[in-house]
Every structure is written in structure tokens, then in C-alpha cells.
Amino acid sequence: MSQFILEFIQQIINGLTLGSIYALIAIGYTMVYGIIGMINFAHGEIYMIGAYISIVVIAALAMIGITALPVVLLLTLLMTIIITSLYGWSVERIAYRPLRGRHRLVPLISAIGMSIFLQNYVQIAQGARDIAMQPLISGGWRFGDAGGFQIYVSYMQVIIALVTLAFMILLSLFILKSRVGKASRAVAQDREMANLLGIDTDQIISITFVIGAALAAVAGLLVGLYYGIVNAYIGFIVGLKAFTAAVLGGIGSIPGAMLGGVLLGLVESFSSAYLSTEYKDVVAFSVLILVLLFRPTGLMGKPEVEKV
Amino acid sequence: MIVRQQIIAALMAALVTLVLAIPIVGVHIISEPGVIALSWDGWKVMVAVVVVFIVQLLKSYFIKSAVIFNYKAKFAPGLLIEKNRKLIISLVILFAIVWPFYASRGDVDIVTLAFIYVMMGLGLNIVVGFAGLLDLGYVAFYAVGAYSYALLSQYFGISFWICLPISGAIAALFGYLLGFPVLRLRGDYLAIVTLGFGEIIRLLLNNMDSLTGGPDGIGNIAKPTLFGLQFERQSSDGGLTFHQFFGLPYSSGDKTIFLYLLALLLVLLSLLVINRLIRMPVGRAWEALREDEIACRSLGLNPMHIKLSAFTLGVSFAGFAGCFFAARQGFINPESFTFIESAIVLAIVVLGGMGSQLGIILAALAMTILPEIAREFDQYRMLLFGMVMVLMMIWRPQGLLPSQRHIIKIETS
Amino acid sequence: MTTNAVALLSVENVGMQFGGLTALEAVSFSLNEKKIVAVIGPNGAGKTTLFNCLSGFYQPTTGRVMLDGRAIDKLPSHEIARAGLVRTFQNIRLFKQMTVMENLLVAQFTRSDNRLWAGLLNNRHYREKEETVKREAIYWLERMELTPFANREAGNLAYGQQRRLEIARCMATAPRLLLLDEPAAGLNPNETVALCQLISDLRNDHGVTILLIEHDMSLVMEISEEILVLDRGRPIAWGVPAAIREDRAVISAYLGEECL
């Protein structure tokens, strides 16, 4: 095989890794938008907090002498999800719930305030410096050889893809099969009607935020393990990109968020490989603007009808 | 019974706070090369838990007093101010002109900076407050204004006074070109697109090294002159300087005061222009559009044109502000134009009370001056910003000083 | 009569579909100048949909709408309004936080001097235009008996006053054709009588043609010169009130087959 093809495949692998992360976070945006029609601007910060908590848990486990890798990973995953979800729940409870039924810019501004607050809260508590963690899982496989170029797939990349896939399947099953999942679809379609039918809409909305935060926590943990570097500002750009992914897939649609995440990951990976690393963010945000302009409903979203 | 419920609720909140705070506030990650460890900082957690418990317990009391406060605020300005409006405004302006001659250089400098934010607040207020379009990328136009002047001055040696209108016009042009396609979008989509645009502009400035100097920015930008008189010790172009022309001893404070007065002039001009605009048919149309777009269309108003006019005019003020900023600093780089700047200006508009110009002026002054007074709290500034934005949306979405709408009164005998 | 003149409004075979649902089908009629015509029909007959098609809030899927010989069915709503067709809404759409006076001023936006420099410099042409606009607004305040409330926020008016203001706001645009969507809804009997008078006065004094949707049959029968009856999206009758009253298809549409 030629070097070009190998490099191409390498970019696909990198893009899928990145895309998995975007997809996990994008689901939080899309579910919240689907159910209460607001952009949860602070969602990127939840992901950042997830990354911090995962490092704290790993360090704490190491300090009490738990180092067996599978145990560490499982416990970290569990603890990170629980605590980060609680953050997601609290944010909704404090900053959004009192604003139900107000003009749609009001919760958006509140969310921006929340985002600024959380970013600075973590920065003050943990310092502005990058926090670097030794990779727990290193190594990988190499394939092919053309002109000295080999495809490299790290174990971590495979783990990211598998974990993401597992959580996507879990989420889909939950939404399709469980009582709460059905209720949440009902609330997304018509909140007032669902309320009349005896569904506790506030509770469903809370659960939506918790699920979104849990998936963001998974993304935070995976990023912490993969890159090993975390700071208080990682949430903003990644959050914006995950939102782009949600819009690209069609905001409100969960399969759309998955698709959008993967597509955006690929776009970014290819643009940094074949265009320039500096412009990869420009490309990502241009995608956002272009999608909103030419297909605001995204790839899998439903069109909205204006009511006169 | 109610008391008991409140205590339970407060205990729950305290418990949640405990769980939330332990991993972020309670432990500090020590990250040395190769090692990662935690240090325990428990007292902060306890403080947080206790504060949340007390606040939650007294919340109902707080809300009651907030309502009383609202009630009073409505009557506060009073007729006295209304009657002597012109006199009061003249006195305030007079004070603002005289003040820098008696104040310290540092203070004058800070207020000059505050004036930049006043201009931006007033401009963004047109977009957000009057026309109801949420622009999260306002800083992009500030950057456009600043770089317009820096580049025109550096490459073509064009003076500040010529560049000032040009910077505003270029910012307006960018606003028009961006607004034309995106203003069709619904409010929250518009917010995100403008945010993306702001980031794109910053990234471009950062990466187009050959033109913008990349992260290093542009330095040695010419300062404004007074009818060609420079405020330096030695003129750079061989002409007279300000102190030579007037036969004064050289004082570096002159430049500070000059920049202050210039900023004041720009603020007053902005106020003048904006006050005309909102009394004009287009100003009425902005408000009408914010209230009901469908009704506007049914009366023959083209929503796109009206939004575009608000957007274009609003961002031109960021262009002027940016031009002045570049001239004042003498040095700019993309770091000055991050999202946080947009958020600060938005916070100014929100806190000041959307649509209220007096509120915005006060909010801009407070936001820039307070952190300077309380420097030890500087790192908490953004934290408080964020918190206050949330609380304002919950308790007073109309802002601290809600707009006293200008209305055309007619005799109703 | 005016049979050979071009009709002010002519609707040809207009249809409207939402997805698979047909809301309006093959509606055709024409309206001469200075007529008062009512559109009636049971709930869900497509009356408001017809108004939305005429005023450009929907684009009809089929057919043509001509205003004064000019096709308007592809125009955006604000251009249709500029062409002289304005409307009110079933659920009154005022600028609630603006004053009554301001509502009337906004309506005249397209007739104001909108040049930026003229306004900023407050030049003579601008001032004259503003004066004209204000005079017009004051005229409509008086005409609609709203003068005492001129400086009040529109949202604080009583219901009947809000209805009148919405009509006044339309009239301030100097329309040729006025579409009223249930103008009598929510009014008490006295107000309804006054509304009747107002509608025919507007036609007589200002030469405006009026097309209205109304459920109040006494009002419809009294003021309309012709009536269009819609049922399930289709026109089932067109004629003078007396004929409509006797029309079997209309009666069955309203009362159901079995009552015949």
C-alpha cells in the first residue's frame, strides 16, 4: 500500500477517536435541547469537571494503594460518573429550573454565566496550570509499512471507541425501552401534554441533565487517560465543538449527535493533517456556521414549522 | 412544619455541596513530572457547606426582601431628577471633564479603559437590548476595529483621526457581511454562530502571522494626536509636540489626560448618536421587532433589514472602541480579544438592564473599576461575574436599572 | 357596475398542503374594490390558513393570488403588506410594551424617512415626514377613540381597545385591502355593534376593501355584501347573505347531514 493510503487510514483512526469524544459530549447538548429547547452553554464545563474528577479519583485510589488497572478504571469510571452527574443535576436545579417559561435568551445568558462561573471555580481551586498525568495505558499496534510510515493504533484509541460504543448502545436501549426513556421522549414532544398525563416533567428534565453529564464525565475520563493533560479551559472549545457536532447531526436527535460527533472528528483530523493544525478550529467553526446557514435542521433533524 | 421542611432542604443542599466540593475544592492535585498526588484542603469544603446551608435556610427570607427592593426601585428616580435632567447631565459631564486634572494618573487610566467598555456596552445594547439579537461574538468587531487601525497605521501611516471612522466602517462592513446570512437564524442559533465567528476571527489573527504578527501582535502603534500635535517628549516626525507648542514643560500625564478626554468625547458622541437612533423610525422598529416579528412583517417591515441595521450599527461602536483601544495601548495581540471579553460586555448590558443606557454606563464603570480597587479579589472577578449573571437572570432579568423607555408623549387632555 | 374592471383581489385555485394534510383546496374567488366580504365556516375549515396564504405567512402550494393585477403569492409577507394588503390576527398581536401611539408610528415605518443621515442630523425633510406620521397616528387615535390611552402601554389596554388598536394600526399603513381575523371575538354585544359600524365606516370613508373571518353570524349577515363559505378546506358556497342562509350545503356543513 502506498504511504498516502496509510496516512489516510491513520487520519480516519484519529478522527474516530476524537469524534467519539465529541459524540459523547454532543449527546448532552442534543438531549437538553430536545427536551427544553435551550443550549446548555455550561455543558463543556461539565466535561472539564469530569476530566478533573477522574484525575482526582485516580490519584486518590493510588494513594490508598489500589493500583490494579481494571479495578482502578472501573472505580474511576463509576465515581467520575456519579460526581459529575451531580454537578449536571445541580447546574440545572440552580441556574435553569427557576427560569422555566421565560424568554429563551434568559436561560441562555444564565448558562453563559454558569459556564464562566464553573471555569473560574475550577481554576481558582486547582490553579491555572496544566495538570499532567502519566498515561495509565500505553502502547498500541502498528500496521503496514510504506516508505517508513506505519499506521499506529494505541490501546487507548481502541478503548475510547469501545467505551463510546458501549455507552451509545446503553443510552439507546435506555431511551427506547425504559419507562423513563419513554417518558422523556414524551416530554420532548410536548411538555404540557406529558405533564397533563401525569409525567413529572421536572424529574425527566433533571434525568436528562444527569445523563448528559454522565456521558460528558465519560468523555472527560477518556480524554484525561488519552492526552494526560487537563486544565480549566478545555471545556470551552471542546464544548463549542461538541455543540457543532450536535447541530451538524441535527440538534434534538440522539443518533444525529453520534453521527455529527464522528463526522466532526473526521473533519478535524483531516483538516489538521492536510490543511494545517492551526486552522483546524477555524474549519470546525466554519462547519458550524455553514450547517446552520444551509441546513439548520442538521443531517437528521426535523424541520420546525413556524406558527402564526 | 415549614421550618422543618426548610431545614431538611438546607441539609440536602449542604450534603450535595459536600459531595460536589470534596473532589474539586477539597483536594488539590499536585502534578509533578511523573507523580500525581493530592493534598487535602478540607476547611474550604466546610466553609462552602456551611454557607450553602445558611443561604438555603434563609432563601425564602432573601426572596421576600428582594421583592420589596423591586417595589421601591420603581419609584426611586423621582420627579426631581426628571425635572432637572438637563442640569444634572451638564453637571456630570462637567465633573467628568475636570476630574482627570485632579486625579492620579493610574485612576485616569482605569477610567479611560472603563470608557472603552462603556462604548462597547452601548453598542452591544443596540443589538441585544433594543433589537433582541444575542451576539456572543461582539469582541470580533472590537478586534476588527483595533487591527484596522493598527494595520492602516503600520503599513500606510494613516493617522488615528482618519482611521477612527474607517475602523468603525470596517467593523460595520464585517457586521453586515456576517449579519446578512446569519440574522435569519433563530435567537439562540444566532448566539452560537456569532460566538463561532468571534473565535474564527481570533484564530485567524493568531495564525496569519505575516499580516497580523500572529500571537506576538502589532506594536508601536501611533498614538492619537491633537490636531497633529504629539504627546511625546520628542516628536517622531519632526513636527512640534503638544508641550512645545504650548510652551509647557513636558509631562507624561498630559497624554493620559488627553486619552481620557478623547475617550470621554467618544462616549458622549456615542450617547448622542444612539439617543437619536432610538428616537428615529428605525429605533422604534428595533423595539417592535424584538416584541413581535410576525406583527412587524404584517405591517410591511422587512425583519432582515431592521435586524441588519441594528447589527451593523451596533457593531460599528465596537469598531470605534477597538480603534481607540489600539491607539491607547500602542500594542495589540489576539489575547485581548477572547470570548471572555464578549462575555464581559454582555454582562455589562445584562447587569445594566437591557435597553437602559444609564444602567450600562454604571455597570461598565463598576465592572472595570471595582476589580482594580479590590485587587486581591482579582482572581474572583470572573467567578463573581458568572455568579451574578445567573442570579440576575433568576431575580432581575430586566437588569439593575431597567430601561426607562423613551416614549413619544402626546397631549391627552 | 364594475364587472369589466380588474378585481382588487383575485384568488385562483389556491391550495395549501402541510405534509400529507390538505388544509386548503381549490379556493377561487375575486373581490372588487370597496366590498365587505366575510369568510365563514366551521372550526378547522381553513379560514385562517386562507388568510395566511393571502398575507404571505404561508406560500400556497398551488394556485395564484393577484392583488390589483399583480401576482403576490410568491412575495414575502412584508412585501405583500407594502403592496396594500394588511391583516389582523386572531390572537391580537400588538407591540405590548410599546405605547399605543408608538404602535401607530411603527405601522408607518415604510412611509417614514429612513435615511440614516437625515435622522441623525434631524434635517427638514426628516422632521416634516415625522410630523406627517405623527399627525396620521393622532388621526387614528381619535378615529378609534383611543386618544385618552395614547401614552399607555398597548398591553395594558382593555380587550376591546386592543382590537381597535390592531385595526387602527393596520389602517395607519393606508391599506387597500384589510383582512380581519375574527374581529368580534371576545367583544361584548355593544362593542360588536360598534365594530359593525366601524367596519362599514372604514370602507365608506377610506375606501378600503375588507375581507373578514367571523363566527358571529349576526355581524356577518349584517355587514357583508358577499360571503365565502369554507368547509374542510374547500369552498362550498359563495353569495349574498340571504342566499347563504338558505344554502343546503352550508347548513349541512354547520349542522351535519342528519339535521336536514
Give the CA distances from residue B11 to residues A89, B14, B46, B53, in Å, rounded to whole numbers and listed in that order.
17, 5, 13, 6
Q: Is A99 on the interface with B (CB under 8 A)?
A: yes
Asked whether residue B166 falls in the same domain as residue B241, the answer is yes
The strand pair at C36-40 and C209-213 is best described as parallel
Q: Which residues does B379 contact at the CB level (< 8 Å), separation at least 6?
A: A120, A124
Question: For residue range C99-140, what is the model confidence (pLDDT) as tens digits?
Answer: 999 999 999 998 888 888 888 888 899 999 999 999 999 999
Contact C119, B280 (CB under 8 A): yes
Select from B113, B133, B146 the least CA-distant residue to B318: B146
Vertex A268 angle, CA A262 and A274, to 5°: 130
Question: Could you say which of B282, B284, B302 has the minimum Cβ distance to residue C78?
Answer: B302
- Shortest distance between the Cα of C195 and any Cα of chain A, in A, equals 24
Q: Is C173 on the interface with B (CB under 8 A)?
A: yes
Is B117 domain-assigned?
yes
For residues C231 and B82, what is the distance between their CA atoms, to the nearest angstrom? 59
- Shortest distance between the Cα of C253 and any Cα of chain B, in A, equals 31
* Percent of chain B's residues with pLDDT above 70: 87
Average the pLDDT over each of A103-112, B167-176, C200-209 and give the range with the smallest value.
Answer: A103-112
Torsions phi, psi for A289 (to 5 deg) = -65, -45
Question: For residue range B250-267, what is the model confidence (pLDDT) as tens digits?
Answer: 777 778 888 999 999 999
pLDDT of B320 strictly over 90? yes
Asked whether residue B257 falls in the same domain as residue B143, the answer is yes
Is B407 domain-assigned?
no
Q: Residue C36 — very low, low, confident or very high, per pLDDT cuts 50/70/90? A: very high
Asked whether residue B37 falls in the same domain as residue B119, the answer is no
pLDDT of B103 strictly over 50? yes
Is B152 domain-assigned?
yes
Nearest CA in chain A to C57: A308
Q: Which amino acid is at A204?
A: I
Asked whether residue B134 falls in the same domain as residue B283, the answer is yes
Nearest CA in chain C to A305: C18
pLDDT in the model for residue B408: 62
Q: Which residues does C100 contact at the CB level (< 8 Å), separation at least 6?
A: C141, C146, C149, C150, C151, C152, C153, C154, C157, C165
Q: Which residues of B touch A279 (CB under 8 A)?
A: 203, 207
Q: Which residues of C touch A307 (CB under 8 A)?
A: none
For residues B172 and B159, what is the distance between their CA atoms, to the nearest angstrom? 20
Contact A164, A20 (CB under 8 A): yes
Asked whether residue B18 falls in the same domain as residue B112, the answer is no
Vertex C56 angle, CA C51 and C57, to 5°: 80
Is B100 domain-assigned?
no
Domain boundary among B41, B57, B73: B57
For residues A306 and A67, what is the distance between their CA atoms, to the nearest angstrom? 57
Stretches where chain A sits below pLDDT 50 are: none
pLDDT in the model for residue B73: 46
**Are the Cβ atoms of C89 and A305 closer than 8 angstroms?**
no
pLDDT in the model for residue C1: 40
Structural domain span for residue B44: 2-57
* Residue C188, all three cell numbers: 361584548
Q: Residue B82 — very low, low, confident or very high, per pLDDT cuts 50/70/90? A: low
Across chain B, what does the average pLDDT equal?
84
Is B97 domain-assigned?
no
* Percent of chain C's residues with pLDDT above 70: 96
Q: Residue B157 — very low, low, confident or very high, per pLDDT cuts 50/70/90? A: confident
* Percent of chain C's residues with pLDDT above 90: 61
**Burial per residue of B39-66, b for 16 or more beta-carbon CB atoms within 10 angstroms, e otherwise:** eeeeeebeebbeebbeebbeeeeeeeee
Chains linked to A by 3 or more Cβ pairs within 8 Å: B, C
**Rounded mean pLDDT of C144-156?**
90
pLDDT in the model for residue A305: 52
pLDDT in the model for residue B74: 46
Is B301 domain-assigned?
yes
Asked whether residue B110 falls in the same domain as residue B51, the answer is no
Contact B392, A98 (CB under 8 A): no
What interhelical angle do A254-274 and A234-249 show, nearest 10?
120
Asked whether residue B171 falls in the same domain as residue B243, the answer is yes
CATH number of the structural domain spanning residue B325: 1.10.3470
Q: Is B215 on the interface with A (CB under 8 A)?
A: no
Select from A17, A191, A250, A120 the least CA-distant residue to B379: A120
For residues C207 and B93, what is the distance between their CA atoms, to the nearest angstrom? 54
**Are the Cβ atoms of C57 and A305 closer than 8 angstroms?**
no
Is B62 domain-assigned?
no
**Rounded mean pLDDT of C144-159?**
90
For residues B167 and B119, what is the distance between their CA atoms, to the nearest angstrom? 14
Q: Which residues of C touch A305 (CB under 8 A)?
A: 18
Q: Which residues of A touch B397 (CB under 8 A)?
A: 102-103, 106
Q: Which residues of C touch B284 (CB under 8 A)?
A: 98, 102, 105-106, 109
> How long a stretch of residues is chain B?
413
Q: Is C174 on the interface with B (CB under 8 A)?
A: no
* Residue C49, all three cell numbers: 390558513
- The listed range with the strongest mean pLDDT (A152-161, B61-70, B401-410, C251-260) is A152-161
Number of domains present in the structure of chain B: 2
For residues A57 and A78, what is the distance between their CA atoms, to the nearest angstrom? 10
For residues A125 and A229, what is the distance between their CA atoms, to the nearest angstrom? 17
The strand pair at C177-181 and C209-213 is best described as parallel
For residues A203 and B302, what is the distance between their CA atoms, to the nearest angstrom? 42
Residue scoring higher pLDDT (B70 or C196): C196
**Are the Cβ atoms of C89 and A308 closer than 8 angstroms?**
yes
For residues B119 and B364, what is the distance between their CA atoms, to the nearest angstrom? 9
Q: Is A131 on the interface with B (CB under 8 A)?
A: yes
Asked whether residue B168 falls in the same domain as residue B45, the answer is no
Could you say which residues from 145 to 164 on chain C have a Cβ atom under 8 Å away from some Cβ of chain B?
147-151
**Are the Cβ atoms of C87 and B298 closer than 8 angstroms?**
yes
Is B350 domain-assigned?
yes
* Residue A238, all three cell numbers: 471542546
Residue scoring higher pLDDT (B244 or B95): B95
Number of helices (H) and strands (E), helices first, in chain C?
Answer: 10, 10
**Are the Cβ atoms of C120 and B292 closer than 8 angstroms?**
no
Element (H, E) at A145: strand A140-146
- Shortest distance between the Cα of C104 and any Cα of chain A, in A, equals 21
Q: Residue B63 — very low, low, confident or very high, per pLDDT cuts 50/70/90? A: low
- The listed range with the strongest mean pLDDT (B64-68, B201-205, B397-401) is B201-205
Cβ pairs B/C, distance under 8 A:
118
For residues B301 and B298, what is the distance between their CA atoms, to the nearest angstrom? 7
Q: What is the ipTM of this complex?
A: 0.91
Which residue is associated with the grid cell 474572583? B380
Asked whether residue B148 falls in the same domain as residue B267, the answer is yes
pLDDT in the model for residue B281: 93
**Are the Cβ atoms of C94 and B292 closer than 8 angstroms?**
yes
**Are the Cβ atoms of A308 and C52 closer than 8 angstroms?**
yes
Asked whether residue B17 falls in the same domain as residue B143, the answer is no
Chains linked to B by 3 or more Cβ pairs within 8 Å: A, C
pLDDT in the model for residue A69: 87
pLDDT in the model for residue B140: 95
Q: Which residues of C touch A308 (CB under 8 A)?
A: 48, 52, 57-58, 89
Give the CA distances from residue B230 to residues B97, B146, B147, B233, B235, in Å, rounded to whole numbers and listed in that order.
21, 20, 22, 9, 6
Average the pLDDT over each of B1-5, B163-167, C189-193 and give the range with the smallest value.
Answer: B1-5
What interhelical angle do B303-329 and B252-279 show, nearest 10?
170
Could you say which residues from 54 to 83 on chain C have a Cβ atom under 8 Å away from some Cβ of chain A?
57-58
Asked whether residue B332 falls in the same domain as residue B245, the answer is yes
Q: Is B355 on the interface with A (CB under 8 A)?
A: no
Asked whether residue B189 falls in the same domain as residue B296, the answer is yes
For residues B242 and B234, what is the distance between their CA atoms, to the nearest angstrom? 10
